[in-house]
């Protein structure tokens, strides 16, 4: 169902719905900004006492100040909620509407991002005032950066959708969501900048999709990648998007066949 003409109306409705809880969104954005900000201080101190580390202070500061923005733009979170809708029967209302459930999730995600940017941008601005940085913006990088950002979003969106599909078979997907978060924190470059991964950790991080959610767009932004590395990175992003999307579509069709609508 590609009912794109309903997209503006749904987006408007989701934006209105998202403004109902501004306090909660402010807290989420504070968390999104403050955790990397904490890590910035940790690594700034480490760098000042260990000059042999292959990471410049400028790159470190840019990494952790832009991290919250990139994470917010590429973030998705509908998995648990969709699985819960399946369990309680609330998904029925999505099935009878003239809009794809996936498009509905997308408009919800986009609407929240539009609201979140108003909370996050001032915090990031304060971060850049405390740590002034010349970001060395280049037009050629910006185009590839936005492509990588969009693809990173679709990695997360398709993964969350896939997790949501588990709701047709599992009563509870919180454990799956926790596992995803654990892997994201471990291999996504949140606590330790991705540049400093080595050995088995680097190998695993390069294979999993999480480093392509935030770290890869950032590496493009700072012109840290060679042309072959760019090609490989975009290919891996595309591969994960296709894999998660195909699995989601398969599980959706199988799930709908066995789904018995009740409640809702």
Partner 1 sequence: MQITRISLARAMIYKANFLSQVLIEIGWSSVTLVSIELIFTNITTMVGWDKGELLFIYSIYRFSQAIYAIFFRKGIRELPSAVNLGNLDQILTKPVNSVFLIVTKYVALDRFSQIIIAFLILLYAQANHPFIWSPLNVSLYCLFCLLGAFIRFSLAFSIHLPVFWIQKLANLERLEITFFGFSRYPRKVFPPFFQAIFSFFLPVLFTAAIPAEILTSRTPLYWTVLVILVTLVLFIFSLKFFNFALRHYSSASS
Considering only residues 3, 178, 223, 235, which one is a binding residue for partner 1 as defined by CB under 8 A?
178
CA distance 157 to 79: 9
Long-range contacts, stretch 251-259, CB < 8 angstroms, 24+ apart: 251/162, 251/165, 251/166, 251/168, 252/165, 254/168, 255/86, 255/165, 255/167, 255/168, 255/169, 256/95, 256/168, 258/168, 259/86, 259/91, 259/168
Q: Is 53 in the site for partner 1 (CB under 8 A)?
A: yes
Interface with partner 1 by CB under 8 A: which range of 59-67, 159-167, 169-177, 217-225? 169-177
Q: How far is the CB of 29 from partner 1 (least distance, A)?
A: 10
Contacts for 200 with CB less than 8 Å, ≥ 6 apart: none
Please give the structure tokens belonging to residue 207: 């294979």
Q: How far is the CB of 39 from partner 1 (least distance, A)?
A: 9
Considering only residues 15, 186, 208, 234, which one is a binding residue for partner 1 as defined by CB under 8 A?
186
Q: How far is the CB of 208 from partner 1 (least distance, A)?
A: 13
Q: Is 24 in the site for partner 1 (CB under 8 A)?
A: yes
Number of residues that bind partner 1 (CB under 8 A): 33
Residue 9 or 46 having the CB closest to partner 1:
46
Considering only residues 3, 16, 138, 175, which one is a binding residue for partner 1 as defined by CB under 8 A?
175
Question: What distance lies between CA 234 and its chain's CA centroid?
Answer: 16
Q: Is 16 in the site for partner 1 (CB under 8 A)?
A: no
* Distances from the Cα of 38 to the Cα of 45, 58, 231, angstroms: 11, 16, 33
Q: How far is the CB of 202 from partner 1 (least distance, A)?
A: 10
Compute and round to an integer the Cα radius of gyration of the chain: 20
Helix axes 78-88, 139-165, angle to 10 degrees: 20
Considering only residues 6, 15, 19, 30, which one is a binding residue for partner 1 as defined by CB under 8 A?
30
- Ranges within 192-231 binding partner 1 (CB under 8 A): 192, 196-199, 201
197: helix, strand or coil = coil
Q: How far is the CB of 176 from partner 1 (least distance, A)?
A: 10
Please give the structure tokens belonging to residue 167: 């709701």
Q: How far is the CB of 64 from partner 1 (least distance, A)?
A: 14
Contacting positions for partner 1 (CB under 8 A): 20-21, 23-24, 27-28, 30-31, 34-35, 38, 41-42, 45-46, 49-50, 53, 172, 174-175, 178-179, 182, 185-186, 191-192, 196-199, 201
């Amino acid at each position: 169902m590609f009912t794109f003409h309903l997209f503006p109306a749904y987006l408007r409705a989701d934006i209105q719905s998202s403004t109902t809880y501004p306090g909660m969104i402010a807290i989420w954005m504070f968390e999104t900004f403050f955790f990397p900000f904490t890590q910035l201080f940790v690594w700034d101190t480490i760098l000042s006492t260990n000059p042999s580390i292959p990471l410049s202070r400028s790159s470190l500061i840019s990494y952790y100040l832009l991290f919250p923005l990139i994470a917010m733009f590429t973030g998705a979170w509908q998995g648990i909620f969709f699985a819960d809708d399946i369990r309680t029967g609330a998904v029925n209302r999505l099935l009878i509407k003239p809009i794809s459930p996936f498009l509905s999730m997308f408009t919800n995600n986009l609407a929240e991002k539009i609201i979140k940017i108003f909370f996050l941008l001032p915090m990031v601005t304060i971060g850049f005032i405390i740590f002034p940085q010349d970001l060395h913006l280049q037009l050629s990088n910006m185009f590839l950066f936005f492509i990588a950002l969009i693809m990173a979003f679709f990695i997360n969106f398709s993964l969350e959708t896939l997790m949501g599909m588990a709701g047709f078979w599992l009563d509870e997907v919180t454990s799956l969501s926790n596992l995803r978060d654990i892997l994201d924190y471990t291999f996504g470059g949140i606590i330790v900048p991705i540049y400093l991964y080595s050995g088995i950790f680097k190998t695993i991080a390069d294979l999993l999709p999480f480093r392509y959610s935030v770290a890869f767009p950032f590496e493009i932004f700072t012109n840290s990648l060679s042309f072959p590395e760019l090609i490989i990175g975009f290919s891996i992003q595309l591969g994960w998007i296709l894999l998660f999307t195909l699995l989601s579509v398969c599980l959706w069709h199988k799930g709908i066949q066995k789904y018995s609508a009740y409640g809702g």
